[in-house]
Amino acid sequence: MKRVAVVTGTTSGIGYYIASYFKNEGYCVVGIQRGKAKHVDLNIEADLSKINTIPKIIDTIDDHYGRIDVLVNNAGKMDFEEYKDNSTVDLNMVMPIQLAEIAIHYMEDGGHIINIASISGITGDSELPIYSATKAAIINFTQSMAKRLAPRIRVNCISPGFFNTNLVEGDTPAELIEQVPMKREADPSEIIPVIHMLQVSTYMTGANIVIDGGLSL
C-alpha cells in the first residue's frame, strides 16, 4: 500500500508545493484546508481553527487509508488584529499540537511529523506578539515530541522568513526586504529542498531548520 502524507493548508503557497512534493514522491496526499485543493488525492475541507473538527478529520483519513506516514502542520495565519479572538492561537498552536497527538496513533515505525513555524518564533515580532508566541510554542513542541517519540517517530520543524505567499495581503514592504542579507524574499518552492533533506536524513529529529535569507542573524 502507498504511503500517506497529510498536509494542512495546501491550496497555495508553501503548502501547495509541499503537497506536490509528496505527490511526486509517490505518496497518497491528504490536503486539509478551507477550500478545495485539486492536486491532492483526498481533499478534506475544514476550518482548522475549530478544534472540534480534528477527530472527524482523522476518522475520514482512517476510513480511506487506515494509516498516516507523514504529517506536515503547515496551515496558519498572521493577523495584525490578532487580539480580536482566539483564532490565531487555535490555528497556529492548538490545532497542530492536537492533530499531531492524534496522528501518531496511526503512524508505524518510521513516521515523520514536520511542523512549519517561523523565525518570529525565534526572534519575536513587536507587531505580532501572539503570532510569535504560537510559533515559539510549535518549535518547543517539536523538541518535546521528538524526545518523547524517538526512535519510532521523528519530529522536525522549519522556520521560514519572508516567503512570497498570501499569508498576509499585499507585497512585503521594500524596507523589510532590505533587512534580509539575501535582499529578496523566497519563492514558496524554495521550501522543498529542506523538506527533502528532512525526509531522507533519518537521523534528524528535534531539529528546527531556519530558511530566512539570513534575516535572523
Residue numbers annotated as active site = 131
- Residues 6 or more apart whose CB falls under 8 angstroms from that of 59 comprise none
Say how far apart CA 147 and CA 155 lie, in whole Å.
Answer: 9
Q: What is the largest CA-CA distance in the chain?
A: 50
The DSSP bridge pattern shows strands 70-73 and 42-45 to be: unpaired
